Amino acid sequence: MAVQRTFSIIKPDATRRNLTGAINAKIEAAGLRIIAQKRIHMTAAQAGHFYAVHKARPFYGELCAFMASEPVVVQVLEGEEAIAKYREVMGATDPAEAAAGTIRKDFALSKGENSVHGSDAPETAAEEIAYFFAGLELVG
Ligand code: ADP
Ligand code: MG
């Protein structure tokens, strides 16, 4: 077991419905510590850069427009095996396939508007954290 950091976004469908606190409660109940957090409104270009890995997918344009449509809350989470643990807390991409009690099962509206993002590997976690946060903002 190793302490890791992962990057999280509470997406526009969730911030719009005032679900930031409810989502944070699930994160903290799972033993993950929110060591940095801020509310931002991404430009379409910033959303496009963040999701560049999905550029070739048919939903890319829709996804970038959605992520830039309203404010989001970006976060850094820390804990034992934080990357895999947060993916578990999030649930499957499609809420119809997400396990009971997960964020996406309880809150997501659709496969696209699915309430949260979480990094999928140590390399992407490090890149995503560095894109949104300066080292000084990670307060432990
Ligand atoms: P995850 O967020 O679970 O890691 P992916 O990395 O596969 O999922 O996709 C990134 C995001 O793109 C998803 O969270 C979702 O918002 C959106 N997305 C994925 N697949 C679809 C789809 N088939 N239709 C619309 N949006 C999608
Ligand atoms: Mg992903």
Measured from the Cα of 92, ligand 1's closest atom is 3
**Up-side HSE of residue 39: CA atoms within 13 Å toward CB?**
9
CA of 118 to the centre of ligand 2 (A): 7
Residue nearest to atom 15 of ligand 1 (CA): 112
Q: How high is the pLDDT of residue 111?
A: 98
35: Cβ–Cβ under 8 A, 6 or more apart, which residues? 5, 76, 77, 78, 138, 139, 140
CA of 120 to the centre of ligand 2 (A): 6
Q: How high is the pLDDT of residue 13?
A: 99
Please give the DSSP secondary-structure letter assigned to residue 4.
E
Ligand 1: residues with CB < 6 A are 54, 59, 63, 93, 111-112, 114, 117, 120
Whether 49 is catalytic: no
Q: How high is the pLDDT of residue 140?
A: 86
Please list the pLDDT of the chain residue by residue as tens digits (140 residues). 899 999 999 999 999 999 999 999 999 999 999 999 999 999 999 999 999 999 999 999 999 999 999 999 999 999 999 999 999 999 999 999 999 999 999 999 999 999 999 999 999 999 999 999 999 999 98
CA of 53 to the centre of ligand 2 (A): 9
Q: How high is the pLDDT of residue 1?
A: 81
**Can you point out the beta strands (E) in 15-133?**
33-40, 72-80, 116-118
Dig out the tokens for 101 from the structure: 């009690």
